[in-house]
Amino acid sequence: RIAHRDVAARNVLITADDVAKLADFGLARDVYATTQYVRANRSGVDELLPLKWMALESIETGEYTCESDVWSFGVLLWEIATLGKDPCYDGRTQLSFLQMVGILRQGIRMKRPPGCPEDLYRLMRACWRDVPATRPTPEGLEKRLMQL
């Protein structure tokens, strides 16, 4: 398994046949530096992080897993349901590293988008569970999405 580390709408390409492809525009990160990436210094390393798409365990430890990508996929679903709005936690789109950690530790998650079916929002919430092992698997996500 591979951890992508940056699952977000900005990295999804749609083919002529309407097939979504997950890409990685890591070299273009500076374009998003003001709203989508937050500068953080972990272990003496200065880096730009897509905090609003990251699972708490990845923010705190710098480790990325399939389960942390599932969290990010939940944020991608939220982006789709809002027609591309910037992720918003606790009414704010601009959050520092410490603010984001505090919000996630309190269990605060993004609100259900207007017009979003309850089943889809439940799936997003499942992606954002605190315990990584309790999040849906990619295969489980595919199955549940096909049922919506």
Residues with catalytic annotation?
Answer: 6
10 to each of 13, 36, 50, 60, how far by Cα in Å? 8, 10, 11, 24
Residue 41's DSSP bridge partners are 46
Q: Which of 61, 65, 56 is CA-nearest to residue 106?
A: 56
Residue 28 makes CB contacts below 8 A (sequence gap 6+) with none
